[in-house]
Amino acid sequence: MANSGLQILGFALALLGVIGLIVGTILPQWKMSAFVGSNIITAVSMYEGLWMSCAFQSTGQIQCKVYDSMLQLTGPLQAARALMVVSIIVVVAGLGAACMGMKCTNCGGDDKVKKARIAMIGGIIVLVGALCGIIACSWYANDIVRAFYDPFTPVNTKYEFGSAIFIAWAGAFLAIIGGAMLAASCTKGKPSPKYPISTRPPSSSKEYV
């Protein structure tokens, strides 16, 4: 029963994780304009994501523009794009495999040991996908930090972390915890008896004194 509860909890956390990964990938707030130096007061806030850049005006108007050419994008941005897409696909595939191996489902046959191994494989796949997401977020964050502290970067073009990168990070960590729980839920096979079982039928003869 405890093993089944661990599987359900791990699946739920991994599902929340992949939702966070999808939301973080779609949102354009991966980095936002930093108000430093003489750039403290401004009427426009700039946000950049994996797919588009947006300008938020103080009047409440929002203008977004999708990136025109992939070849014009920076290396970290292209890598983050690819890794986030791969992360989502792999985590979803791992959740599908884990769903087949969970005790509370009828898929994967009636063999409990086989189903537990399928759930473990699904958990490992989820872990691989979550690691791809963490690498993507960390790579993109490193590029933001490096450009922020670069003395040759103009003050009005410096950026800091946006909310979307934190959502993607949180989703990746939830997927890691959920995948680890699914991978740890694999039960061992039935232990073999330590002593051989006698197959000789009991004697039916009776002794009389």
The per-residue pLDDT for range 158-207, each reduced to its tens digit, is: 888 999 999 999 999 999 999 999 888 765 555 445 555 555 555 555 55
Q: Give the number of other Cβ atoms within 10 Å of residue 110's Cβ.
A: 7
Least confident residue range of 64-73, 86-95, 165-174:
64-73
Q: Are 130 and 87 in contact (CB under 8 A)?
A: yes
Q: Give the number of other Cβ atoms within 10 Å of residue 155's Cβ.
A: 11
Residue found under tokens 């933001």: 144
* CA of residue 170 relative to chain centroid, distance: 8
**Sheet of 52-57, strands arranged across:** 62-66, 52-57, 44-48, 31-33, 159-161
Residue found under tokens 């977020």: 137
The per-residue pLDDT for range 124-156, each reduced to its tens digit, is: 999 999 999 999 999 999 999 998 888 887 777
C-alpha to C-alpha distance for 149 and 78, rounded to whole angstroms: 22
**Using CB atoms within 10 A of its CB, is residue 68 exposed (0-12), middle (13-18) or buried (19+)?**
exposed
Q: Does 108 score more than 80 pLDDT?
A: no
List of E strands, the chain: 31-33, 44-48, 52-57, 62-66, 159-161
C-alpha to C-alpha distance for 50 and 28, rounded to whole angstroms: 7
Between 74 and 177, residue with greater pLDDT: 177
- pLDDT category at 23 given cuts 50, 70, 90 is very high
> With helix as H, strand as E and coil as C, how does 180-192 read?
HHHHCCCCCCCCC
C-alpha to C-alpha distance for 205 and 75, rounded to whole angstroms: 88
Closest CA relative to residue 169, chosen from 187, 146, 144, 147:
144
Q: Give the number of other Cβ atoms within 10 Å of residue 180's Cβ.
A: 18
